[in-house]
Amino acid sequence: MKRQYRVRFSLLFLIFSMLFSFQGFAYGQDKFQGNTNGNISNLGYISKEGDYIYYSNIAAGSKLYKAKSDGKEEKLITEDIPNYINVVGDYIYYSSVKEGFRIYKVKKDGSERTALNKASSHWIKVIGDWVYYAKRDNKGQKLYKIKTDGSEETKVIGDRIFGFTIKDDWIFYSNESDKNKLYKIKLDGSEKTKLNDEESILIDIVDNVIYYQNHAQQDKIYRINTNGQNNLKISDDNTSFANISDNYIYYSNVKDNMKLYKIKLDGKDKVKLTDEGVGEMNVIGDYIYYWNTTPDPSKGLSFDSTKLNRVKKDGSSKEVFKIGKDEKSEDDKMSTSSIVIVLLIVGTATFMEFWKLISTHKITKYVNGIKGEMTNEDARKYISLIKKSRIVKRSDIYILLRKGVQAVNSSYKVDDELKKELDNTLLKRGINLNNGSKKQNKE
């Protein structure tokens, strides 16, 4: 007798895409690669090659599966939980959540599973014989590449990055080392060029035009040529998650409770596609796959990751593609507690990693944006940010925190009560800025 188990929980790590969107887009690459840039920027949990889709199956513990586009002929490939799925030739490349986001490859039949590196790796993009990815170290995320056989790992860019895309022989990226302004650099690391002076979340490139979210303008969508000219606003909507396909930008509209919209690349023909909030979206064929999300005053966003939905690009045929459940026979079934444990491991590992990335980004942005005397309102925002952030004991983070604390404590416009509250907040979080720079977390 079959039994159904349904586990509901929110994977808050998906917030990271609010920033990355960590919130990214992509569509127009010329070289063949294993998934679109837009899908990869949205966790890359599904990819397509030929008649098959390859995906993280939430109905089976988020393991890597393949199936026909209609969901038939479903088959387990590996028990790894994948992000950033790339399908190239006979192999599938991905970041394994259970293995600390290390890069793995496996044949489509599930054989020859091989680890390519030992580092936490994100935004994986396979192009030709190379795997490009963001590697986390104690100074932030930097762009690396490694051969598909695991050899010749090479740092491509010394800058800290916040998302990247590749077109032709160029890498385009948000340079976190320069307040997330857009840059480009050759694949071999030469001819580094600054493209704009705005805080930008890189999206994609279509026909030599870069599409990006202008963070200084509430993440409104802008476009700029790849030579840095003709910077124009596309839409007045504040956006979050987004993707590009078939000359349309698909995005979650923050002004309308995260509902899914589409708009042409020239800013015309805006259409609402759903009446529910949409989180990370992957575009495959005629369908947009997504999780539901709703604004949450206490958490920012709340996601229902127990259902993977899909809707056609014209807004029709909305349906639930996968439900977080597991049906097995009495001899081969998981207990409810086992499923909970598996899902919690996935959620916790991913959430902690992305929470750390988001926290670092927000603290960096806030502290570097301090100008003049801090006010009571500024101090309250800083205290709230510290309370909500995941702060690791790392020298660069402690230097930023110390700069913010000094700005608060030295300002005559900040009340003594708030200065004391800041000290108490740091004490409760176990943050000792007097010796924090000497303690480093090597994760």
Q: What is the pLDDT of residues 180-191, one digit of tens each?
A: 899 999 988 889
Say what the pLDDT of residue 266 is: 93
Kindly give the pairing relationship between strand 300-312 and strand 130-137.
unpaired
Looking at residue 426, what is its pLDDT? Answer: 82
Q: Residue type at 340?
A: V
Structure tokens at 82: 């994948």
CA gap 128, 278 in Å, rounded: 33
User: What is the pLDDT at residue 358?
Assistant: 67
The residue written with tokens 């104690």 in the block is 138
Find, among 210, 202, 203, 211, the residue nearest to 227 by Cα.
Answer: 210
326 pLDDT band, cuts 50/70/90, is very low
CB 120 within 8 A of CB 114: no
**pLDDT single digits (tens) 265-316:** 999 999 999 999 998 899 999 999 998 888 766 556 677 778 889 999 999 9
**3-class DSSP string for the chain:** CCCCCECCCCCHHHHHHHCCCCCCCCCCCCCCECCCHHHHHCCCCEEEECCEEEEEEHHHCCEEEEEECCCCCCEEEECCCEEEEEEECCEEEEEECCCCCEEEEEECCCCCCEECCCCCEEEEEEECCEEEEEEEECCEEEEEEEECCCCCCEECCCCCEEEEEEECCEEEEEEHHHCCEEEEEECCCCCCEECCCCCEEEEEEECCEEEEEEHHHCCEEEEEECCCCCCEECCCCCEEEEEEECCEEEEEEHHHCCEEEEEECCCCCCEEEEEEEEEEEEEECCEEEEEEEEEECCCEEEEEEEEEEEEECCCCCCEEEEECECCCCHHHCCCHHHHHHHHHHHHHHHHHHHHHHHHHHHHHHHHHCCCCCCCHHHHHHHHHHHHHCCCCCCHHHHHHHHHHHHHHHCCCCCCHHHHHHHHHHHHHCCCCCCCHHHCCCCC
Asked if pLDDT for residue 4 goes beyond 60, the answer is: no
In whole angstroms, what is the distance from residue 88 CA to residue 106 CA? Answer: 11
Residue 65: CB atoms within 10 Å: 19
Structure confidence at residue 295 (pLDDT): 74
The most distant pair of C-alpha atoms in the chain lies apart, rounded to whole Å, by: 71
The proportion of the chain whose per-residue pLDDT surpasses 70, expressed as a percent, equals: 78
pLDDT digits (tens, 9 = 90+) for 221-241: 999 999 999 999 999 999 988
Sheet holding 271-284, edge to edge: 239-245, 248-253, 259-264, 271-284, 287-296, 300-312, 319-323
Q: Amino acid identity of 379?
A: A
Residue 163 has pLDDT above 90, yes or no: no
For residue 146, the model assigns a pLDDT of 95
> What is the structure's pLDDT at 364?
76
Domains of the chain by start residue, with CATH: 12-323 (2.120.10.60), 335-438 (no CATH)
Residue entry with tokens 């056609």:
312
In whole angstroms, how far apart are CA 328 and each of 60, 75, 246, 346? 10, 15, 40, 21
Tokens of 269: 């023909």
pLDDT (tens digit per residue) in 49-84: 988 999 999 888 889 999 988 878 999 999 999 999
Question: Which pLDDT score, from 0 to 100, does residue 365 have?
Answer: 74
C-beta separation of 283 from 250 below 8 A:
yes
Dist CA 223 CA 442 (whole Å):
38
The predicted-structure confidence for 331-370, as pLDDT tens digits, reads as follows 444 444 444 444 444 444 444 455 556 666 677 777 777 7
**Over the stretch 386-421, which tens digit does the pLDDT of each residue have?**
877 766 555 556 777 878 888 888 888 888 888 888
For residue 106, the cross-strand partners are: 92
Q: Which of 31, 39, 44, 42 is nearest to 167 (CA)?
A: 31
Query: What confidence tens digit (pLDDT) does each residue in 174-222 have?
Result: 998 898 899 999 988 889 999 999 888 877 888 899 999 888 888 899 9
Per-residue pLDDT reduced to its tens digit, 12-28: 333 333 333 344 444 44
State how far the Cα of 342 lies from the Cα of 335, in Å rounded to an integer.
11
Q: Which of 189, 156, 173 lies closest to 226, judged by CA?
A: 173
Closest CA to 282 of 35, 10, 30, 3: 35
* Residue 314, phi-psi category: left (phi > 0), alpha (psi -120 to 50), beta (remainder): alpha
Q: Residue 76 is which amino acid? A: L
Phi, psi of 225 (to 5 degrees): -65, 155
* Segment 244-269, tens digit of pLDDT: 998 999 999 988 999 999 999 999 99
Q: How confident is the model at residue 372 (pLDDT cuts 50, 70, 90)?
A: confident
